[in-house]
Structure 1
Amino acid sequence: MGVPGVDVPEVKDVVDVIVNDRSKPLVSFVEGTTDQEIVLTVARGRDDVRVSLPVGERFQILWRGRDELRSLPVELVAIDRGEPPRWRVCPVGPATTGQRRQAVRARMGRTVQVSVEDVRLAGTTLDVSEGGMRVVFGHDVVAPPKPGVIADVQLQLSRGQVACAAEVLQHFHREGAPPAVSFRFIDLPSRAEDLIRGEVFEEMRVQQQRARGLI
C-alpha cells in the first residue's frame, strides 16, 4: 500500500478520524496493516464513547508522518465485533499533506520543570494539549514567569518526557490558590505532539471509566 508513515500510517500510530458530519475530533490507534487493509481500533470521541459508523462510510485518517501530517481517505469495509472491536478500512485515494482541526485538551496533573534564565521552577499541570498547558507552581514560587517570557520546559508524561521551549501566555487567578500560568509550546517535535496526544486521550478514557465507577 505504499511507504509506511508516508502513504499509510504505521502500526501503533495514533490517528485522528475525520468524519464529515462530526465537528469534534475522534481518535483511533493502528493495530495492523496488510497489502489491502488498515486495521484500526473503533474510534472514540472526547467522551470516550466508541462511535458507530456503517460499513461503506468514507472518512479521512490523519497521522504524524516522518516530516509532516499526512491524511488518507479510506472506506470502512468491515467491522470485527471482538473485544476490543476493530475497523477494517481500505484507502480510496492517495495520501496527502494533512492538517488537524484542533488540539484536544485534558485535565491531568503531571510534573513539569520550567527554566527561565538561571531559575528553575517546579510545577504541576492542570491540563495539557499538544498546543500547550496550564501549570500551577508551588507556594514557594513568589513570582511566576510573566506573559511573553520564553522558557525551557520539561514535561514528564507516563510514556516519556517532553522537552521544548514555551511562551508564557497569561496568568489565571484562582480563589485561595496560587495562580495558574498558561504556556504555548514552541516548535514542539512531531513525535512529542503524538506522545502528548496519546496521553491526553488515554487520560480522558481513564477519567470516563472512573466517572462510571469502572475503575
Structure 2
Amino acid sequence: MVGGCAGEEAAAPAPAARPDAKAPGLAAALLSAPPGMKVAYGPEAGPFGSLKATKTGLEAMRQAQVEQPGCAGAGQLDASAPAVRDAPAAVVAFASEQGSITEALIALPEAFPKPPAKKCASYTATVRGTKVLYKTTELRLPRLGDESRAYLTTVSSTGGKIQIGSVAVRHGNTVMSLLAVGTKVKATGLRDQSRLAYEKLVNAMK
C-alpha cells in the first residue's frame, strides 16, 4: 500500500481482480468496519499488483517529483517487484469524516518493508505543481507478530496538513499493512487498530 491513496480513491467501486487461490482466505482475515466508519472500498482480492488500491498508489508515486530519490514509498513494500506484484493479496478501506483506514494482507514468505533511509526522514516533492513536505518518524508501538514496524508521516502543503500512520506486521508468511490517514493520527489509536487487525489475522489463520 502506498501513502493511503486507496482511502482517497475509495468511493468509486472497483472491478474484481483476477481470482487467486489464497486471496479469498486473506479477505476473510481483513478487519471489519471500525466504530463510526463505513466500508469505502473492497474487500478486493487477487494478485497484489492487480488490485485497484495498488495501482492507485503506484500512479500517485509516479506523479510525484521527489527531491530525494528512493524516498517515495520508503518503509513500504515495493509493489513493482515481481514477487510482491504477483503475491496473493486482499485489501479493504474504511472512511469517516475524520479520515480513513486501509488494510492489506499479502502472502509473502520472503519480503518485509525495509526501514526508510535517514535521508527520507524529511524531504519535499512536487505533486501536480504543488510543493509538499514529508516528515516521518518511527513509532515505538508494542511488537506484533514475528516482526513489526510503525511510522507517522506528516504531509504539509499550502492546502494544509494531514498525517499518515503506517504499521507493517509479519505473521508467518503473511504481511499485514495498515494505513490510517487523517488530520491527526494518534499513536494510541494506531496501536489499537493494528492490534485488532493482527488478532483477526491470527484467528483467521488458525
For the criterion TM > 0.5, the same-fold answer is no
* Higher RCO (Cα < 8 Å, 6 or more apart): 2
TM-score, normalised via structure 1 length: 0.24
Bigger fraction of residues in strand: 1
TM-score, normalised via structure 2 length: 0.25
Q: Which has the larger radius of gyration?
A: 1
Bigger fraction of residues in helix: 2
